[in-house]
Amino acid sequence: MKNFDENQASEYLEVALAAARRAAEISSDFYAGNFSVTTKADLTPVTEADVACEQAISAIILERFPEHGFFGEETGQINADADYLWLVDPIDGTKAFVRQYPFFSTQIALMHQGEIVLGVSSGTMMDELAWAEKGKGAWLNGSRLSVSEISDPDRAAVSTGNLKSLAAGDSWSKFGEIVARADRIRGYGDFYHYHLLAAGKIEAVIESDVNILDIAALSIIVTEAGGVFTDLNGDKPDLNVRSVLAANPALHAHYLAQLKD
């Protein structure tokens, strides 16, 4: 099956897609620049759009599933011990949003008893809506996604993120060996390089300084497209994740061995 039939979507996915589309309407309205910006305690910006999007998302989700937990970038955790926990970053890439370039997105994921089982990634200004459910494949604008089959590091396209913190870590010299050998190195960043990876257009993403709200939805999109998604130590993402190594299976195994050698 190459095209997705939304009539076959689960109730969870139906709600997540509706919430992502509502957030896209809100963020698009704000994108022209008519919003206020404040600075949080961690010195990152937050805008009216972040807050409005998260309020809309939580209202849509919790109206349908009032017994579920909710963990949002702006509102924190609500009923976090529930079996089902929604993980939401209403505008991932707020700095991009503030500077008015399109590499921001809305990220919505569902975790069931500690396992990520659903993800929706909405790249609003780039007209990219990706989603996945456990065991049901990954999709972009209704078309099935699949990672590439390139297994030769000399032919691989690798995208990176947050190089500043990566450079300060223990893997920097080993990362340099990957860079020196790769066919192409780019820093597409944020949601976009994961969409490219899941679509088979690049082979790997190596990133640091992330949190679970940034990458929860993207992790299941990549894995349901046939990829492998871990942190730089090879562990599956959990609520404490701080780094990413995502790639097709052959190159993930190669890069993980190289980084851990």
Q: For residue range 51-61, what is the model confidence (pLDDT) as tens digits?
A: 999 999 999 99
User: Average pLDDT in the 248-254 region?
Assistant: 98
pTM: 0.94
Task: Check for a shared fold between 6-144 and 153-260.
Answer: no
Q: For residue range 39-88, what is the model confidence (pLDDT) as tens digits?
A: 766 657 678 889 999 999 999 999 999 999 999 999 899 998 999 999 99
Q: pLDDT at position 97, please?
A: 82
Nearby residues of 167 by Cβ (< 8 Å), 6 or more positions away: none
Q: For residue range 2-21, what is the model confidence (pLDDT) as tens digits?
A: 678 777 789 999 999 999 99
Q: pLDDT at position 91, please?
A: 94
> What values do phi and psi take at 54, rounded to 5?
-65, -40
Q: Which superfamily, per CATH, for 6-144?
A: Fructose-1,6-Bisphosphatase, subunit A, domain 1 (3.30.540.10)
Show me where the domains of the chain are located.
6-144, 153-260
Mean pLDDT of the chain: 93
**What is the CATH architecture assignment of 153-260?**
3-Layer(aba) Sandwich (3.40)
Query: How would you class 192 by CB atoms within 10 Å of its CB: exposed for 0-12, middle for 13-18, buried for 19 or more?
Result: buried
Query: How would you class 258 by CB atoms within 10 Å of its CB: exposed for 0-12, middle for 13-18, buried for 19 or more?
Result: middle
